[in-house]
Amino acid sequence: MSHKPNINWLRATVRWPRRASASYRNCGSARRGARRFSTLLTNPITVWSLGGSVLAPLFQGGRLTAQADAAGAQRDQAAFAYRRVALGAFRDVEDGLAAVHRLDEQVASGERQRAALAEGLRLATNRYREGYSPYLEQLDAQRGLLGAQLALIQTRSDALAARVQLYQAMGGGWSGVVTDRDGPE
């Protein structure tokens, strides 16, 4: 499922706010380092210029905290969106697997039914040839067999479509773009 574009986009979205909140956490270590460094300076002009640059982040502390909180909220929102999309993708895959399994069982049942009706047609044809039954019985057997064959073909088609949907749900190379070569020739 790592090939699905919506999941890749959400992964990138979840990673971005972490960097923003990490840069805010590093500001605190810069302030502590500035306090230690100020004891090393003895020149008064350097102390005044350093004082302005040290005090500037202190006056912006509320704004930096709000930005860190906003980045955390964005990260949480992106994480919840990622979880929702991932759970939806897992649901789509599980639904696809269940549909494939169910349709495979229906195909097997349809093949058994077709085989039984083919045997019934064979017996009805033999009885008609020998003169034991009317031609209508053979026609009814043929009609039943053809109906079962049509139903089996439709079920096989549905099973193939379910496999394509499962492949798409798993993110397997589905572009959805129709090219000129895909059209009728």
**pLDDT computed for residue 4 by the predictor:** 65
pLDDT over 50 at 126, yes or no: yes
CB of 166 within 8 A of CB of 93? yes
Locate 83 and state its tokens. Answer: 């979880």
Q: Among 85, 70, 78, which residue's Cα sits nearest to residue 24? A: 70
Q: What mean pLDDT, rounded, does the chain reach? A: 78
Give me the amino acid identity at 70: A
In this prediction the pTM is 0.58
Q: How confident is the model at residue 24 (pLDDT cuts 50, 70, 90)?
A: very low
Residue 148: predicted pLDDT: 96
From CA 76, how far away is CA 18, in angstroms rounded? 10
Question: For residue range 67-102, what is the model confidence (pLDDT) as tens digits?
Answer: 888 999 999 998 898 899 889 989 999 999 999 999
Helix (H, G, I), strand (E, B) or coil at 175: coil
Contact 99, 165 (CB under 8 A): yes
pLDDT of residue 8: 65
Section 150-156 average pLDDT: 97
Tokens of 92: 């789509």
Res 174 pLDDT > 90:
no
Residues 6 or more apart whose CB falls under 8 angstroms from that of 103 comprise 155, 158, 159, 162
Task: Give the highest mean pLDDT range of 8-12, 53-57, 88-92, 102-106.
Answer: 102-106
The number of beta carbons lying within 10 Å of the beta carbon of residue 50 is: 15
